[in-house]
Amino acid sequence: MTRDVPVRRAIVALLSFLICGTAAPADQFPFDQELLLDAAPMRPGKRMPILIVEPNGNAKINLWCRSVSAHLEISETAMKIEAGPLPEDLPEMLSAGQCTPERIKADEELLEDFKQVTAWRRQGEGVLLEGPKTLEFRASDH
């Protein structure tokens, strides 16, 4: 019976490692996911800003009207976003109301907000990008 105790302890330790050790930390950045800006839609268009970040830091930022490439440096809590310039040309495939003057102005403002991000953190299933303005994102459901 006393020989069973070390074996049981080893089994419990192994199971604990397998359960806890292989799970992703709750505060890990959600790479390769579409992160949708948690904001009210800007009518009449349906497009919403989306951020997609690859594990190597390369990213695509779909703004209200246009899209830009970016590179993110991400550590435990710090973040730096180096975004490319807004394209001069509007998207070739436009939906009705996608690029109104209000949306074009909102692109410029949102891109500036991205460039000023200095930190990030998880909040539930979402991600907060923090700078002078906090940008809240949630995982896209499509």
pLDDT in tens, 58-69: 999 999 999 999
Judge whether residue 97 has pLDDT over 60: yes
Please compute the mean of the pLDDT values over residues 52-61 and round it to a whole number: 97
3-state secondary structure of 77: coil
Higher pLDDT, 43 or 86: 86
Judge whether residue 1 has pLDDT over 80: no
pLDDT at res. 22? 38
Composition of the chain by helix, strand, coil, percent to 5? 25, 30, 50
Bond into 44 cis (ω within 30): yes
Residue pair 140/50 in contact by the 8 Å Cβ criterion: yes
Q: What angle do CA 128, 134, 138 make, to 5 degrees?
A: 35
Residue pair 61/83 in contact by the 8 Å Cβ criterion: yes
Question: What are residue 96's DSSP bridge partners?
Answer: none
pLDDT at res. 10? 44
pLDDT at res. 9? 52
CATH architecture for the domain at 29-139 = Beta Barrel (2.40)
pLDDT at res. 125? 86
